[in-house]
Structure 1
């Protein structure tokens, strides 16, 4: 029997549950992929496709295990006294509290944890429903708040240790060699081995509920996991190694990616007589967010030239030379106007000009987004209130364009051009110092690890689907069960597969349409990124997430990737290679999430539960 009188509550709860999943994608997933995009291993559009594939795979294969912790590990089912209506209302308010907080933070470029926002909101709802004594504050067999919040300290540290260990291995085996390129070529299959083993282990270890692997013996788990890893190792040795050997050792600039199918035959492929430099991207180019010139790009080589009125970057080989450029003469009015602005207003003006340049580029594009941007530009809102006739006409014209922009804007967003507010600002001075203490390794070596980083990024996305989808779907599953059965959900009730799929899809949509808002802040703002560093960061975060997920402990993807980023940054050998100001802001936002999300969820529950009714 369906609680028909509570259908409207279930509808509201479903909206907020999916909104919370959407925010999870726009926040946590964007942070996970920001490393790959900022390292230029993948473009934002490529990241979207890979995210959709591996996020869904991780969610459907592994994601159901953490749902029970969110559903009944914090508020005991007995606390609802078998009142399905109260349970439905409780998890609706919990979803609303988490969604409201994360949406506000994402809108204002504040990076918070979606996982801890949801957990804190559930705790607040529990206090409002059954009192503080009814909430599982302790360990509770690994499912209480004590166990979950222990990850606030453990997850970043563990992730940082894993990532630092992997990068130090790369550094000692490859980067510190006199001739590191051959070492990078011949050792690259090892990372394919690690990535394949971790992914397969996450599915078979303790079993995927959806694949019936729960009771398999240890030899089966080990053989399948290692077999998958070594399978990737062999494929990399046969196809990938010959390709990159011809690309970076023999410097064959005529080689195309589709030639990889030739495998060992590429060892015999002669390089052009004039092959004196490998045709690979220059990963050492730093984006400062000033005035952008046109991009010189090809299918495999793209160097973005960036300059401001005061300085520009000149690329010479693997080095970056900063050359002074005479400032463009300004009129007296411009000088007086600039002098009248406060430093904060000047910074905001810089942001506005950069956004205007980006929108001007979008208006030149063909297709739906170019049409939508031109429509918005050609039909601005006029003076007066919204109800003025000319504003109503403009709004009617702009509405279809708004829809197109909301759906497609993220597809064309360039987070490198969005690294604004660097030169001449406190943030810029900090980042210049951070970059100066990071060693720039040869582009040929970094090029190899750009392929490895694609694998590690997919592993990280798979791990996120395994962990965070279960967190997001837990409250929705509780709502659906209470609404559809008219009874409080049992402690071990399974989560329907279709709910996991819908939640995972909402997460992917959030990343695709709004993830750029966090990526433009997180890209290169903690430490210097490069493919070899980024692959180590992502692998360390992925391992940590999977370990926590196997023990049914929801952990923040944001905290793991942040800890991994700091760990790799410290491998430069100095504390100055990390932007501790940004790290401190992130940690502060994580701490503030606990009381604020809890208060929002608890206040909503208290108001709705005690509202007078007829």
Structure 2
């Protein structure tokens, strides 16, 4: 029998090691989702333990522990779903990598929640349910628990199917459903619900219109100019100044409630002054950055890259300051009711409750956020830095306009509406150019109607899925909350 040569032995060893490496890679790929679930469960357990330690000993301490666990679950889902609307356009435009977007968003969301998050939250979600209609504090606690569980489950389901939904409207639906189950339809403030329903239509349409308007401006005054670089030097600092002034107003109105309460008039003045200063600073920077750039559209993307990243970071800060109460509002209400034996329309949020919300949003984003970031950033319509910049700018402006009109709007609806607005404007603009070409050049090759439909720039399947999810969010969360409340009442009351 012949012995194996050393070369054959090494080949056999290399082949076996290659098979082991392939098996390890496959195992890691399969186990990756389980790691995320494991970290999320560990965070929820830690939140429950922290609640048990910080709330103190009491016969009903387990209620607060359970509420803290579900509050952490809700915060994880907000991070997985809601934050994608701020970072999706920047990632889709290749201004940020996925890892960079997650790091920036996690830091800004946490900073916004902890530094500027409101320390007082409306536990009845802006007057949706009359507190007097709830008979006692125990019923109120189960109603808030049902609202917390149902809204978290609904946002989790929406994230799983790839639909960016409003966590604010999920909480609104949860509170409404539990209130109806506890005290009947008369407990609901229906005019307030009507205003919220109107915002479903107004906020995305307004966000889309503003984003489309800015894109039309950029195309007319920069992209279609003979000297694109000279036009960019003139107008990009103006757009950056508008962005800076808008975000200064936005943060003054929405992000600084914990520090100082500012009305719309002073906030607008702050925005105008800030915008003017930012314009003065950015003009020479853009002039220096544009030196040596070629006179083509690709060069323009460079000038919009950094402003887009900054706008995404500011949106995340403002979102953390404004929307963290969606996760911790019902939890804070339960803690207050357990501690004082009564319920109130407004309560202070303990620091440990705010920390659960802030860190939960960050963990949810890091573990489960990439799916929705890709959806918003690249799967609805193709974005570049100019289009994504229009989306970010429209989100801040729409919130300010809605505050002036007194409309309760959703940042999710506005941001995704901005993406739709940019996509549909591009479709309209492309169709108009085709018609103009056909009119001026009758002999030009015409595109068949079927081919033109195939070339639509907004994916209709995603559009219909997202709109359907928006429409059913409040009734679905309300129905789920009502059923959970009845179940809790049957088991514990």
TM class, shorter-length: 0.7 to 0.9
- The yes-or-no answer on 1:224 pairing with 2:270 is yes
Q: Deviations over 1:44-96 (max 9, x none)?
A: 22212321343234445654299427545112221223x22222221111110
Report how many residues are paired: 413
Matching residue within 10, 18, 22 for 2:76: 22
Secondary structure of residue in 2 paired with 1:529: coil
Closer, same or farther: CA 520–103 of 1 in aligned 2, 3 Å:
same
Closer, same or farther: CA 190–502 of 1 in aligned 2, 3 Å:
farther
- The yes-or-no answer on 1:11 pairing with 2:30 is no
- Partners of 1:72 and 1:521 in 2: how far apart? 31
- The yes-or-no answer on 1:56 pairing with 2:113 is no
**8 Å contact kept, 1:59–1:465:** yes
Gaps of 5+ in 1: 140-144, 252-276, 279-440
- Partners of 1:58 and 1:169 in 2: how far apart? 32
- The yes-or-no answer on 1:541 pairing with 2:382 is no
Closer, same or farther: CA 226–96 of 1 in aligned 2, 3 Å:
same
- Structural mapping, 1:81-160, within 5 Å: 81=135, 83-139=136-192, 145-160=193-208
Closer, same or farther: CA 206–507 of 1 in aligned 2, 3 Å:
closer
**8 Å contact kept, 1:471–1:554:** no
Counterpart for residue 570 of structure 1: 424
Counterpart for residue 326 of structure 2: 471
Counterpart for residue 451 of structure 1: 306
Could you state the TM-score of these two structures normalised by the residue count of structure 2?
0.76
Counterpart for residue 342 of structure 2: 487
- Partners of 2:362 and 2:399 in 1: how far apart? 18
Counterpart for residue 248 of structure 2: 200
- The yes-or-no answer on 1:73 pairing with 2:127 is yes
Q: What is the RMSD of the two structures over their aligned residues, measured on CA atoms?
A: 2.8
- The yes-or-no answer on 1:558 pairing with 2:412 is yes
Closer, same or farther: CA 598–207 of 1 in aligned 2, 3 Å:
closer
How far off its partner does 1:519 sit? 2.2
Q: Deviations over 1:207-246 (max 9, x none)?
A: 933223447x94x54443323222322222233431x123
Q: Deviations over 1:446-504 (max 9, x none)?
A: 12112221122123223422432233332122112112212112x24344455444413
Counterpart for residue 514 of structure 1: 368
Closer, same or farther: CA 67–493 of 1 in aligned 2, 3 Å:
closer
The farther-off stretch of 108-117 and 9-18 is 108-117
Counterpart for residue 235 of structure 1: 281
Q: Deviations over 1:186-220 (max 9, x none)?
A: 322222212221222124349933223447x94x5
Gaps of 5+ in 2: 1-54, 432-455
Closer, same or farther: CA 167–58 of 1 in aligned 2, 3 Å:
farther
Closer, same or farther: CA 444–58 of 1 in aligned 2, 3 Å:
same
Closer, same or farther: CA 593–187 of 1 in aligned 2, 3 Å:
same
- Structural mapping, 1:45-444, within 5 Å: 45-60=99-114, 63-64=117-118, 67-68=121-122, 70-71=124-125, 73-81=127-135, 83-139=136-192, 145-205=193-253, 208-214=256-262, 218=265, 220-242=266-288, 244-246=289-291, 250-251=292-293, 442-444=297-299
- Partners of 1:26 and 1:558 in 2: how far apart? 12
Secondary structure of residue in 2 paired with 1:188: helix
How far off its partner does 1:154 sit? 0.9
**8 Å contact kept, 2:110–2:320:** yes
